Structure 1
Amino acid sequence: MRPSAFACCIWLAVGAFSPLARGQAVAIQTEGLQWLQRIADAAELLSYSGIFVYRSGNRSETSRIVHQAGQGRQNEKLEVLDGSPREVIRHDDEVSCYLPENRLVIIEQRSVRRNFPGLLANGLGNLHDHYLIRTGGTERVAGFDCQTIRLEPRDGWRYGHRFWVDPASGLLLKAEIVDANGGVLESMAFTDLHIGAPIPPEALKPRYEAAAREKWRIRRAKLSDLREDAPWVFRSELPGFRKLTALRRAFDNEGKEAAMLHWVFSDGLAAFSVFISPLTAPQEQGEESFRTMGALNIAKRVLGGYQIVVMGDLPPDAIRHFAAGIGMRGK
């Protein structure tokens, strides 16, 4: 990628800093990283319950979350309160998703992505290479006086982020993804929150457990690590993003095994996924499509009898760039 004029200006400005100014800049970055580590830790180590609202464009969704932590264990229940009913139950690394309208339960043994109010706990130390991290003033969210944090991307391969954090607990109360002009693409924010209160066992039980046990389909994913000689290669890398996982996901689909390959890449904050699966119906070689939903961008293409899907909260050019570089080894 050619260096942009903006990047050159940043380089010149940094080169012109005095030692004192450079020291102050490092201190600001370090403080920001410490806040981010507190966010990642708090979401895993604290017990809390509350209601939060997700907004993306004209779409919004309200959810209730109950999270219990203690003795090295984690239990969590996430329930969508409007629109199509969904419920996600997590016991440590086992995640069960209840879909009442489909009379279906999907069970996976491990979950890669940490959702709101969590952050990925690995790779935070390198964020300053790709984001300018700033701490701001205090603003109220859900009755809490929160510390504000801004992450401004140093290149065009990622979006900016804004966080509102409870200083007492370190828990993330509000998060926004913003574009290059500061426009909000996606937001999540608590409207009601209780931190540290005891979580009664019934608050964590699945609402649909009894019905699911008797009448629903239960689809359990069989996950296995991909070998290094998997036939797919990624030729168009994104700076700062590294591979977190490479898995084969297999489901039993009415007596037949349906499988897909799944990779997750992250820079420590933003992440995107690659899914590759055999076509179930004939499509034209090279057929492509692209879709944007708020901060989420999705690229699809057909190659050699397979469908390739790349999706994540990255700018459209980043998703297109990476998707275009996926190919078969030796071809």
Structure 2
Amino acid sequence: MKPIWFSVCLLAGNLLYSNIASAQSVPGAMLQQMSSASRSLNYELAYISINKQGVESLRYRHAVIDKQPLGQLLHMDGPRREVLQRGGGISYFEPGLEPFTLSGEHIVDALPSVVYADFNYLAKYYDFISVGRTRISDRPCEVFRVVARDGSRYGYVIWLDMDTKLPLRVDLLDRDGEVLEQYRVISFEVGQQVQNIMQGLLATDLPPLLSLPVAENVQLSWSTGWLPAGVNEVARNRRKLPNVAEPVESRLYSDGLFSFSVNVSPSSSNTGQQFYRQGRRTIQTEIRNGNEITVVGELPPSTAKRIADSVSFKVSQ
């Protein structure tokens, strides 16, 4: 009897594992569809952005014409502020500033950054959890949570339109479940009519592309000893700041969802540790061995402090 029971238990375990794996993969596949739909569909979204500073009303249009992405982000309140995308150029129009264009794949401030994430990569470090179904903007939605397995980062709750897979609501949560930021669609359209509106952008004169300095291969005498799982260094530099005698050395890190920098500069101050948090952004500063270490970015304060504490310096020979 024991071999039979062992076989039955093994079979049941395999079936259970298969169901669990399938349940975990389905939310990831749905979120990847959201990313694809946001890049490929012709649509217009009217939405509000809510954070600790207040509420902002915006309109975002997106279309693909002749395989070229087109976008328009318009701030609906106050002085006219507009961002336009044509292909790989993102043009900014702000009151009191000369218009300019930067290279980019999408308008950074249009949709929450999680919309453009590579969920196949994030699946190694985040859990994607199906929460259920509800209704947003009179549309049926599926709800998913995105949670870091190591608990070191913020999380998201995402409401996906069941038909188009476009995000209709996105909440950024801290580790206690408090909403730090919310993106919420009020109304939207999908289809040819949006493409017709965006057609005129093909012939619009846009400001010239700004040329940015070429990144140098800078050698730094310090490193971070601990980083959240999945985080990689994406850039480093050494630069002079106005009214600062010594240069500041920086490393920029990202896991594809959240970004932050670690900055080191000489300091004669004896001030201890300090931190400041506003919404999703934390600034953690400490003085050690004559160096000021500052972590700035989209991190919970405890994570920023752990990263700052882990910075080590090479001993001069």
Change (3 A) 1:44 1:112: closer
Asked if 1:107 corresponds to 2:94, the answer is: no
Compared with structure 1, are the counterparts of its residues 66 and 161 closer, same or farther at alpha carbon in structure 2 (3 Å cutoff)?
Answer: same
Does 2:169 align with 1:174? Answer: yes
Structure 1 unaligned runs (5+)? 1-16
In 2, Cα distance between the equivalents of 1:110 and 1:287?
Answer: 39
Q: Which SS does the other structure have where 2:15 is aligned?
A: helix
Alignment of 1:72 with 2:73, yes or no, is no
Overall identity of the aligned pairs, in %: 19
**1:292 aligned residue:** 277
Question: 2:133: which partner in 1?
Answer: 138
Q: In the alignment, which residue of structure 1 is the partner of 2:252?
A: 263
> Corresponding residue for 1:13?
none
What is the CA–CA distance in structure 1 between the aligned matches of 2:285 and 2:209, rounded to whole Å? 25
Q: Would the aligned equivalents of 1:221 and 1:249 in 2 still touch at CA under 8 Å? A: no
Q: Distance in 2 between matches of 1:286 and 1:202?
A: 57
2:296 is aligned with what amino acid? Answer: V
How much does 1:27 deviate?
0.8
Max Rg structure: 2
Out of 151, 164, 171, the position equivalent to 1:156 is: 151
**How far apart in 2 are the matches of 1:131 and 1:234?**
22
- Give the 3 Å change call, closer, same or farther, for CA 99–93 of structure 1 in structure 2: same
Could you say which residue in structure 2 is the equivalent of 1:45?
Answer: 40
SS of residue paired to 2:214: strand
Cα root mean square deviation, aligned: 4.0
Alignment check: 8 A CA contact 2:90 2:107 kept: no
> 1:222 is paired with a residue of what secondary structure?
coil
Equivalent position amino acid for 1:107 in 2? T
User: 3-state DSSP class of the match of 1:220?
Assistant: coil
Q: 1:272 aligns with which of 254, 259, 276?
A: 259
Per-residue deviation, 1:277: 9.2
Q: Deviations over 1:50-71 (max 9, x none)?
A: 2111111362111111112233
Number of residue equivalences? 295
Contact 1:276/1:309, CA 8 A, preserved across alignment: yes
Report what 2:226 is aligned to: 236
Alpha-carbon distance change, 330 to 46 in structure 1, aligned in 2, over 3 angstroms: farther
- Is 1:97 the equivalent of 2:82? no
**TM-score, normalising length from structure 1?**
0.72
* Matched letter for residue 259 of structure 2: F
Correspondence for 2:235: 246
**Structure 2, unpaired ranges of 5+:** 1-11
Structure 1 residue 301 displacement after superposition:
6.2
**Whole-angstrom distance in 1 between the partners of 2:201 and 2:269:** 47
How far the C-alpha of 1:309 sits from its partner, in A, is 5.1
User: What TM-score results when the alignment is normalised by the length of structure 2?
Assistant: 0.75
What is the alpha-carbon distance in structure 2 between the residues aligned to residue 246 and residue 286 of structure 1?
29
| Matched residue, 1:10 | none
Report the AA paired with residue 306 of structure 2: H
Three-state SS of the structure 2 residue aligned to 1:156 is: coil
CA distance in 1 between partners of 2:271 and 2:141 (Å): 48
Q: Tell me by how many angstroms 1:162 deviates.
A: 0.7
Note the alpha carbon deviations across 1:282-301, whole angstroms, 9 max, x for none.
98477765322223323356
Q: Structure 1 residues 283, 120: CA separation in 2 closer, same or farther (over 3 Å shift)?
A: farther
**Counterpart of 1:315 in structure 2: which amino acid?**
P
